[in-house]
Structure 1
Amino acid sequence: MHSSIFGMIIFTFTLWSSQKLVLSSSHNDFPIAKPNCNDSCGGISIPFPFGTTPQCYISPEFRLTCNHTSSDPPKLFTGETNFEITDISLDGQITLLNSIAYECFNSNGIRSSNFSEEMRLGSYLTVNHTANKFTMVGCSAIAVVSGATIANQVVATAGVTQCSSEVDVTEGTCNGVGCFQVEIPQNVSDYIVTIQRLPNYTNTWNFSNCTYAFVVDDSAFKFSKDNLTNLSRVKSLPVVADWVVRNETCHKTISNTATYACVSVNSTCYNPTSGYGYRCRCKDGFLGNPYLFQGCIDIDECSNQTLHDCNKKASCTNTIGNYTCTCPENYEGDGRGEDGCKEKPPKDMKITYVLIGVIIGVICLLLGIILLYLDLKRRSHNKMKRKFFLQNGGHLLQEKLATREASPDMVTIFTSSELEKATNSFHNSMIIGRGGFGTVYKGVLADARTVAIKRSIRVDPTQIEQFINEVVVLSQINHRNVVRLLGCCLEKDVPLLVYEFISNGTLSSHLHNEAKAHALDWNTRLKIAAETAGVLSYLHSSASTPIIHRDVKSDNILLDHTLTVKVSDFGASKLVPIDLDQLTTVVLGTLGYLDPEYMLTNQLTEKSDVYSFGVVLLELVTGRKALSFNRPVEEKSLSNYFLYVLKQDLLVKIIDEKIVGLGNMEQISTVCKLAKECLNVKGEDRPSMKEVAMELEGLILREKHSWATNVDDVEEMKSLIPNDHDGTSGVGYDSISMDHIVLPINDGGR
């Protein structure tokens, strides 16, 4: 039975070789070797650049030896070994026969072996890593294939086979039980195969007493169980190697006519996928040997139906490198494919075609009119955007930006299409806030930044220059507690301002929500007060041009995810010239926060922000809203009610019981006194925001160093907050429906 299986292996290999030979010779209707040179040996075709004598090969690396007195195949000497050749392809492949590494033991423990199989291919050949497989047959052994690439890199691949019994081995499957296969690394020019038995090999010697390892053309070997014992009779197996005619690329060698190998007129050079060396091939429509002068011969596609796609009705005419198809009389078309030739319509069909042409023309005319209308509409829209851009001071803003050095902090001029895309055309679902000065939308820019876009309700055409100045100045405010102005859009009827987006809501939404208010303990509220005061102090004192916020309130104090303050909404802000202490302007602000002196005199000063901040301090201490019509008349205004209960020594009635603790009464007392100072009717009697900020920062620092607490302050707190605490609170009232006021004054201006 073993002999029959061995015979099948030999038959399979012989059949494979004969098929390759037939495929090679089927295209040999053209010269493949130089004149007066042998083009075959032992039934194997020898195409140039290969040859058996110096005038017949391109360089010594392609020299073959041939015994013309026998039927032996030619041999290729690669520097150390003569390999028998079974096939040479002009596509860049050559098939060599190489030996098998094996190790065998008989029942007496006597070993016979050829431990290694070695192949050295030289500088123009590499092992084909897709056609070949590193294969190991046997049990309880390790085999390693190691070698070097053309770039002198060392590579290695190993495999292990295990068998506990012959039943475990699967016919035709190399899964590591009796047989193992793996691909060869790319660009390997030299390799060696070695075998090492595992200690338990004696357990399987009765059905697998040999281990074999070899590199083989995958199409020429199929595993069989009988291979465990009969492969020792096979002396060699085919290996497919890739060859290149030169070890340079086409780009480097094409200009050197002395060494350029693609000499045929109709040939071209190409680099293999491995990126090593180059080969030649005939152009499309030609067949032959591109390494020979006049070696690429025109293919007569018309001589074989499989070589052209002319319609059955069409006639095929061969041309140099191509062919043409011609339809017969009364047929029209290019003659190619199934629909290449169609009968011409009768003459009376021409009228129908004319009508169809007219209809198509009318349709095209209508489409042209529609496209023209859309283009005019687009031009009109762009013209309108340009008009609004100039009307809103866009040219002035560009001039101011051009005079400044470019920096990351510079204001960005957004287009209307950018902001429409970011807000889904300003859809109502994107609205996140409304106020007396405009509507705020949430938007996502093209660079994935989330922003808040404020759309103003009104704009004063006479104040465009001042508005542009304010945009430039506000965009340069670089303070960690200020919502940054990123830019603006001036292509709408009213300007759009783009701010960074703060996701955690306003201070008002936290203070006046029962669930959120519990998260605002006293230390957090004190930090919020200090950070807000620091921002206002910076605007009043440290900015290049002093800025009055003009609308300080808890709705304009945003909190980020760490409850850090971000002061927002500078829509009502005013720049204050350095040489002026006050401005005469239309009264703008929010009821409950408005400075009474400002309401009476129209004189806007920094102290107007101080008064509004005092109301914010009261909101932090009491948890109540600045103004609520749902409370009794005497409690509607938080500031008036605070001054009243303070005068009556009943302050404890309005302190938010959520912040009252054993150790913070002194701080609450100090903040209440500071709020009282901020709420003085006369602005000159109020402290500056710088003084307020310093007082709050000092209060936080004194808390960190509690050993510095002043005993006198404790006593004063006791006088402010008596012991008749009844726990009443104003938390939970609804906000007013109108939160802004505009009072026109005859002599006021803006």
Structure 2
Amino acid sequence: MNTNCSCFGGSKGKQKKPNNYAHPHTGDAADEGELLGKTKSFSYNELTTATNNFHHTNKIGRGGFGTVYKGKLKDGTQVAVKTLSAFSRQGLREFLTEIETISNVRHPNLVPLIGCCVHERDRMLIYEYLENKSIDQALLGRIRTVKLEWGKRAAICVGIARGLVYLHEELVPHIVHRDIKASNILLDRDFIPKIGDFGLAKLFPDDITHISTKIAGTTGYLAPEYALGGRLTMKADVYSFGVVVLEVVSGRSSSSSNWGGTQQLLLEKTWQLYEEGKLLDLVDPELEEFPEQEVLRYMKVALFCTQSNASRRPLMSQVIDMLSRDIRLNEKQLTPPGFFQGSGGLSSLQSKEKSEGSTSYQMSSVPTTITEVTPR
């Protein structure tokens, strides 16, 4: 994988740090027993009691393969219980993948997996409950649950970046999340961000440059090279992170397409404003006061992260430097993003622009979750 980035001079990725996280045997039901030993097991009765028999008033979310309920264990611990479809083979894969990738992983910016439950055909994952829900609920919805000033928004962006540095550069084997998006970034009571939902994650050994795989993720956050040909590297997560940063700054969803009567998606609008020298027009109107130069830097970093050519995107450790310190960004090296537009679905992918070996792509704006259906 090309780890060079020309967005600023002199910064390098952090040294990779080994840990005790081993690569477990991968498989399906035959390996379930082996994987279950890696995390705490809860009984079905414990979880029905905790969630008041999965009462609808405790429903706090819904994913591609099941529903999430708020619960309270006997010791008073508040949890989020994710129920996976009993009849979905992909739901089983998500269940096994989450246990495989994060059962032994702990980091301040990752949602802790507390345990799991296997009951007949039911599969459940139990996580720490986070009071302020997800970024999309807190910041991007029509009715916002909180009002976030710039300091908190900046800390959210840096926290997500730190979580990704841990996954990409410190864990061995590394982990590519594959579904970084606003709804998968949860906020605790202090608005510390935690990356969740590892059901699509891939373990990424050091000795390979990329993985060829079926497309999985959510349109609006998919990197062009991955959406086009299933070429997966850590830079796909970097792209998705850049989109999330723009959402946090603007208070707009990546799929927003109505900007003063024009039909443009968030990333496309950002690039237009950048070229016009009007990036501050993107800032959320609810941000009454903010440090203009710092906010501009965050948006420009997001553009570096979403460049069409994956090799030009920075490593997440470089992103931390770019966000945390007042580093001069080499904007002469910045190239157009790969962005999504249109309504024809994945089949409408087409090349929009080719220059200096870099291609910018257009794709459907429909915010659909896409999951692979072949074995991992």
Fold conserved between structures, TM > 0.5: yes
- Structure-2 separation of matches of 1:477 and 1:549: 13
Indicate which of 56, 65, 75 corresponds to 1:428.
56
Q: What's the counterpart of residue 89 of structure 2?
A: 460
Q: Is the alpha carbon distance of 1:570 and 1:414 closer, same or farther for their aligned partners in structure 2, counting shifts above 3 Å?
A: same
Conservation of the 8 A alpha-carbon contact between 2:84 and 2:95: no
C-alpha deviation, 1:391, in angstroms: 4.1
- Which amino acid is the alignment partner of residue 613 of structure 1? F
Larger Rg: 1
Tell me the secondary structure at the aligned position of residue 486 of structure 1: strand
Indicate which of 172, 182, 185 corresponds to 1:544.
172
Conservation of the 8 A alpha-carbon contact between 1:518 and 1:658: no
Conservation of the 8 A alpha-carbon contact between 2:257 and 2:266: no
Indicate which of 218, 238, 252 corresponds to 1:624.
252
- Structure-1 separation of matches of 2:91 and 2:288: 51
C-alpha deviation, 1:680, in angstroms: 0.6
* 2:294 matches 1:667: yes
Conservation of the 8 A alpha-carbon contact between 2:84 and 2:92: no
- Structure-1 separation of matches of 2:292 and 2:234: 30
C-alpha deviation, 1:421, in angstroms: 2.2
- Structure-2 separation of matches of 1:586 and 1:523: 38
Conservation of the 8 A alpha-carbon contact between 1:559 and 1:566: yes
- Structure-1 separation of matches of 2:212 and 2:262: 32
Q: What's the counterpart of residue 688 of structure 1?
A: 315
Q: What's the counterpart of residue 33 of structure 2?
A: 395
Q: Is the alpha carbon distance of 1:671 and 1:455 closer, same or farther for their aligned partners in structure 2, counting shifts above 3 Å?
A: same
Indicate which of 556, 569, 575 corresponds to 2:197.
569
C-alpha deviation, 1:690, in angstroms: 1.5
Q: Is the alpha carbon distance of 1:522 and 1:544 closer, same or farther for their aligned partners in structure 2, counting shifts above 3 Å?
A: same
- Structure-2 separation of matches of 1:595 and 1:501: 30
Deviations 1:398-425 (A, max 9, x none): 5xx3xxxxxxxx6101222222222223
Deviations 1:578-632 (A, max 9, x none): 3223222221212211112211011121111111110111112211111135657
- Structure-1 separation of matches of 2:369 and 2:91: 21
- Which amino acid is the alignment partner of residue 417 of structure 1? N
- Which amino acid is the alignment partner of residue 34 of structure 2? L
Conservation of the 8 A alpha-carbon contact between 1:540 and 1:548: yes
Taking only aligned residues, the RMSD between alpha carbons, in angstroms, comes to 3.1
Tell me the secondary structure at the aligned position of residue 566 of structure 1: strand
Q: Is the alpha carbon distance of 1:470 and 1:570 closer, same or farther for their aligned partners in structure 2, counting shifts above 3 Å?
A: closer
- Structure-1 separation of matches of 2:325 and 2:34: 44
**More RCO (CA 8 Å, sep 6+):** 2
- Structure-2 separation of matches of 1:420 and 1:518: 30
- Structure-2 separation of matches of 1:391 and 1:635: 46
Q: What's the counterpart of residue 678 of structure 1?
A: 305
- Structure-1 separation of matches of 2:371 and 2:147: 38
Indicate which of 68, 72, 76 corresponds to 1:440.
68
* 2:39 matches 1:411: yes
Indicate which of 277, 280, 283 corresponds to 1:652.
280
Deviations 1:232-264 (A, max 9, x none): xxxxxxxxxxxxxxxxxxxxxxxxxxxxxxxxx
Tell me the secondary structure at the aligned position of residue 121 of structure 2: coil
- Which amino acid is the alignment partner of residue 566 of structure 1? K
Q: Is the alpha carbon distance of 1:749 and 1:501 closer, same or farther for their aligned partners in structure 2, counting shifts above 3 Å?
A: same
Q: What's the counterpart of residue 590 of structure 1?
A: 218
Tell me the secondary structure at the aligned position of residue 495 of structure 1: strand
Deviations 1:32-74 (A, max 9, x none): xxxxxxxxxxxxxxxxxxxxxxxxxxxxxxxxxxxxxxxxxxx
C-alpha deviation, 1:744, in angstroms: 6.3
Q: Is the alpha carbon distance of 1:392 and 1:462 closer, same or farther for their aligned partners in structure 2, counting shifts above 3 Å?
A: farther
Q: In structure 1, list runs of 5 or more residues that go unmatched.
A: 1-389, 402-409, 700-709, 717-736
Q: Is the alpha carbon distance of 1:492 and 1:432 closer, same or farther for their aligned partners in structure 2, counting shifts above 3 Å?
A: farther
C-alpha deviation, 1:514, in angstroms: 7.7
Tell me the secondary structure at the aligned position of residue 657 of structure 1: coil
| Superposition map of 1:149-160 within 5 A | none
Tell me the secondary structure at the aligned position of residue 653 of structure 1: helix
Q: In structure 2, list runs of 5 or more residues that go unmatched.
A: 1-27, 332-364
Q: Is the alpha carbon distance of 1:494 and 1:582 closer, same or farther for their aligned partners in structure 2, counting shifts above 3 Å?
A: farther
Tell me the secondary structure at the aligned position of residue 562 of structure 1: coil
Indicate which of 93, 98, 108 corresponds to 1:480.
108
Conservation of the 8 A alpha-carbon contact between 1:585 and 1:602: yes
Tell me the secondary structure at the aligned position of residue 455 of structure 1: strand
C-alpha deviation, 1:467, in angstroms: 5.8
- Structure-1 separation of matches of 2:143 and 2:368: 27
Deviations 1:527-575 (A, max 9, x none): 1110110001101111132111111112111112211112222222222
Deviations 1:105-161 (A, max 9, x none): xxxxxxxxxxxxxxxxxxxxxxxxxxxxxxxxxxxxxxxxxxxxxxxxxxxxxxxxx
Tell me the secondary structure at the aligned position of residue 126 of structure 2: strand
Conservation of the 8 A alpha-carbon contact between 1:431 and 1:440: yes
Q: Is the alpha carbon distance of 1:594 and 1:632 closer, same or farther for their aligned partners in structure 2, counting shifts above 3 Å?
A: farther
Tell me the secondary structure at the aligned position of residue 119 of structure 2: coil
Conservation of the 8 A alpha-carbon contact between 1:678 and 1:687: yes
Deviations 1:471-500 (A, max 9, x none): 144021111121100111122424211101
- Structure-1 separation of matches of 2:65 and 2:189: 26
Q: Is the alpha carbon distance of 1:583 and 1:509 closer, same or farther for their aligned partners in structure 2, counting shifts above 3 Å?
A: same
- Structure-1 separation of matches of 2:140 and 2:158: 20
Conservation of the 8 A alpha-carbon contact between 1:396 and 1:468: no
Conservation of the 8 A alpha-carbon contact between 2:173 and 2:204: yes
Deviations 1:187-230 (A, max 9, x none): xxxxxxxxxxxxxxxxxxxxxxxxxxxxxxxxxxxxxxxxxxxx
* 2:160 matches 1:522: no
Indicate which of 608, 616, 621 corresponds to 2:236.
608
Conservation of the 8 A alpha-carbon contact between 1:392 and 1:494: no
Higher strand share: 1
Conservation of the 8 A alpha-carbon contact between 1:589 and 1:742: yes
Conservation of the 8 A alpha-carbon contact between 2:307 and 2:313: yes
